[in-house]
Amino acid sequence: MQQKKFMMTDTPAFDKEYWNQRYRNGETPWDMGEVSPPLKAYIDQCSNKHHRVLIPGGGNSYEACYLWENGFRDITVVDISSLMINKLRKEHEQTGIRFVEGDFLNMKASTT
* pLDDT, tens digit (0-9, with 9 covering 90-100), for 54-74: 999 999 999 999 999 999 999
CA distances from residue 95 to 4, 14, 55, 83, 89 in whole angstroms, order as listed: 41, 30, 16, 19, 9
pLDDT score of 101? 92
pLDDT in tens, 79-111: 999 999 999 999 999 999 999 998 887 777 665
Q: Specify the pTM.
A: 0.81
Q: Report pLDDT digits (tens) over 1-34.
A: 555 554 555 555 688 999 999 999 999 999 999 9
